[in-house]
Amino acid sequence: MAVSAGCARVLPVFECRSDPDFSTNQNQQKSSSRRFISGSFNGGGGLYSSLILRFPPNFVRQLSIKARRNCSNIGVAQVVAASWSNNNNTNKVPNVSTFDSASAASEIEIPSIDDEVVAAAGIDGGICNNGVQLSGLAALKASFLRSDGSITVHAGERLGRGIATDGITTPVVNTSAYWFKNSNELIDFKEGRHKSFEYGRYGNPTTVVAENKISALEGAESTILMSSGMCASTVMMFALVKKGGHIITTTDCYRKTRIFIDDFLVPNMNITVHVIDPADMDGLKSALEKNNVTLFFTESPTNPYLRCVDIDLVSKLCHSKGTLVCVDGTFATPLNQKALALGADLVLHSATKFIGGHNDVLAGCISGSEEVIAKIRKLHHVLGGTLNPNAAYLIIRGMKTLHLRIQQQNTTGLRIAEVLEAHLKVKRVHYPGLPSHPEHKIAMKQMTGFGGVVSFEIDGDLETTKTFIDALKIPYIAPSFGGCESIVDQPAIMSYWDLSQSGREMFGIKDNLVRFSFGVEDFEDLKDDILQALEVI
């Protein structure tokens, strides 16, 4: 591997760290300062970030043995780095991007780790007070992770995680229970002075990393991951809507959600339901006036017609009557739409879809305030539905490419929607990015991208539509959406085949409807495949 001349001045100083040697007198280490050489590579902004250069490569040796054993190295590193970067004295380290090759050998004074810095890292007497989770991670996020793309890669990990590792990737903690050193530590845990999970159903360090990453994206105080999107939906409604309560939802939605409400909540909990069109704000106002509504639950965009709800307006109307608002943002993703910032109390995702992004994991998540999430978490710990830590690892892995995938899928979705709308064999296209969409103006106001799913109606009947789908060569005929591989389905067959044609029409499902989820394949390949399939019919 070739390196520039400027690089040669830096590499000898930044040696790979071996296991810490604690044989040296720690008091002597603590009293001394560290010096190191800073520099940057020529061009491209440099490989080392300014944050990395703000602490010595062997800073962990300055921590006590117990701190090293009990705290996440990476988490402590970030707290220490934040302390140094916030220091306004003359020892402040300049940004590495301002350096050139001529300044590569300049020396920068780094303060030693004193008691105040150690205390800031959550260490008291060599023991990490925060246990498995470092507190205050949200406060550290904004200083150098300013975009969603960076957050998807680093949030929950670079900023500190409750797993002692020097690995870049978060390890999978496969355990069903957690042990305590003695009975007093157990009592401390029970009384809130010691952080742990106690039992696998109550949490897992790997899962917490994924939850923190999603919270950072959504701007939420707390996130809870469950074993599927439907698990998240049902537990949320069970936890928040009491017997005899009232729910408002929308006409266009995932069928299994409607089945749960109609067949389980209504008869078993005496819950009443008011269903409105996504754009019917007068209907919403009337329902709120006439009923003591506990929860307004909607998708935005909806499934499968991609209708959009004005989240800001809905939230204001609902909050004026004390009603909670939960938005299923699965189609939008946290990158294209920030439901909490728009006023919603909760945002729910089937993480199986875009968040996981690789068609290889089932998961669901809910984000919101700690107060509301705590109510859901309490019931979740009773019911189960726990996410396997291996699945949490796949969610973390998938999210690192979320912003790249969404960029590609947004672009492909919009361009294909425009191609389909201009085609003579397509009757109608349902995509919020098109001016013809009934809520296009709402989508433009509250979304930064319109997603990778396009629904459209073939100019023909059920058999004609089957012929079109069977002629496609790239997408898989399958349920679900949001993965790297394109997926296509005909809802009349895939999700509603148990109903008669008239029964499907009651739900607004037409025989000629196609739902196409675009993956990350090349746009031209997908376009050519669709056009050749349209020529077959």
C-alpha to C-alpha distance for 183 and 340, rounded to whole angstroms: 41
- Complete DSSP assignment for 370-383: HHHHHHHHHHHHHH
405 is catalytic: no
Instruction: Please pick, among 158, 213, 353, 405, the residue that the annotation labels catalytic.
Output: 353
525 is catalytic: no
C-alpha to C-alpha distance for 222 and 62, rounded to whole angstroms: 33
C-alpha to C-alpha distance for 470 and 492, rounded to whole angstroms: 15
C-alpha to C-alpha distance for 228 and 302, rounded to whole angstroms: 18
Question: Which two three-digit tokens encode residue 66?
Answer: 């117990």
Instruction: Please pick, among 141, 254, 305, 310, the residue that the annotation labels catalytic.
Output: 254
Instruction: Compute the residue count for the chain.
Output: 537
Question: Which two three-digit tokens encode residue 461?
Answer: 């009947």
181 is catalytic: no
The answer, yes or no, to whether the previous bond of 301 is cis (omega within 30 of 0) is yes
Sheet holding 476-477, edge to edge: 426-430, 453-458, 513-517, 487-489, 476-477
254 is catalytic: yes
Instruction: Please pick, among 328, 345, 489, 511, the residue that the annotation labels catalytic.
Output: 328
Residue keyed to tokens 């739902």: 515
C-alpha to C-alpha distance for 105 and 115, rounded to whole angstroms: 30
Instruction: Please pick, among 9, 61, 201, 255, the residue that the annotation labels catalytic.
Output: 201
C-alpha to C-alpha distance for 423 and 442, rounded to whole angstroms: 26
Q: Is 413 exposed, middle or buried (0-12, 13-18, 19+ CB in 10 A)?
A: buried
Question: Which two three-digit tokens encode residue 206?
Answer: 């790997």
Residue keyed to tokens 């339901």: 273
Residue keyed to tokens 């109606």: 457
Which residues are part of the catalytic machinery?
201, 254, 328, 353
